[in-house]
Structure 1
Amino acid sequence: MADADTAAVAGSPDRKPVAELLPQGERDKLTLRLQQALNTFIDSPRQAVEEADSVFDEVTTHFTNTLTEQRRVLRSGRQGQDTEAQTEELRVALRQYRELTERLLHMAAPTAQ
């Protein structure tokens, strides 16, 4: 979809919000923990790596739980409706699937080192 189409979709009044993969407060806490792990590497490398592993585990668990819940909500929203209402709900669901998938694909891109 073109950028103009994406912007139009984002501003649609019927667009349901897609859940944050990780709320800002939680991101801040986990970022701080990761930074602390990095800062302690010189003095305690094993402990630093164990803490980084723990932070990574929490992030992936939260992402998995959030995405599973989003999928459940999207799937349940399209059951038991008449055809006209169902078509509209499917259109909204498709937009949400696209947004979530694009966010995940963006995250999958390699980062500059």
Structure 2
Amino acid sequence: MMYDQERARQPQSKSPDPAKRYAPQPPRTEPAHAPHEPPTSADDLTTPGTPDPALLPRDQRDELAMRLRQALNTFVDSPHRAVEEADSVFAEAITHLTETLAERRRVLRAGWQGQDTEAQTEELRLALRQYRKITELLLRM
């Protein structure tokens, strides 16, 4: 009993609630850019003469998302058909994404590869910047 009386006289510590101490924390993420460079935003992905930063146009994304939702909603009535449709949507998304990335690469390469050996440093810098931005966008997916 002496221990309880002495403990009651001591000031309460400001320690956090034990239940909160072990609560899941969101994962820490390191920026995808070098420390000396400003972060890349979606607005920063477009420069004059470069394609839209979205890897798939909004109408294609919306259509594929709608088809996937329909497949999910029909699973109870027709599981096999729902999975086949989801597979089809996935394959179509991959095809669109691959075609978009191949076209972006073609445009970027045309901007720097066909030049003489003494290509302008500024053009190379812009090409490198676009490669970095598109690659970062892919890595964030």
TM-score by length of 1: 0.79
Identity in percent: 55
What is the count of residue pairs matched by the alignment? 106
**1:73 maps to 2:103:** no
Please tell me whether the aligned partners of residues 19 and 66 of structure 1 are also in contact (alpha carbons under 8 angstroms).
no
> What is the letter of the counterpart of residue 60 of structure 2?
E
- Residues of 2 paired with 1:97 and 1:47: CA distance? 40
In structure 2, the partner of 1:6 is 39
- 1:93 Cα shift? 0.7
CA RMSD of aligned residues (A): 2.8
- The list of structure 1 runs, each at least 4 consecutive aligned residues, that deviate by more than 6 angstroms after superposition, is none
- Map of 1:92 onto structure 2: 126
- Of structures 1 and 2, the larger Rg is shown by 2
In structure 1, the residue corresponding to 2:39 is in which secondary structure? Answer: helix
Summarize deviations over 1:10-36 as a string: whole Å, max 9, x none.
Answer: 289668345421100111111000000
- CA separation in 2, counterparts of 1:38 and 1:76? 42
Query: TM (normalized to structure 2)?
Result: 0.65
The 3 A distance-change label for structure 1 pair 14 and 25 is: closer
Equivalent position of 2:20 in the other structure: none
Which SS does the other structure have where 1:6 is aligned? coil
Structure 1 portions without partners, runs of 5+: 108-113
Counterpart among 22, 25, 29 of residue 63 in structure 2 = 29
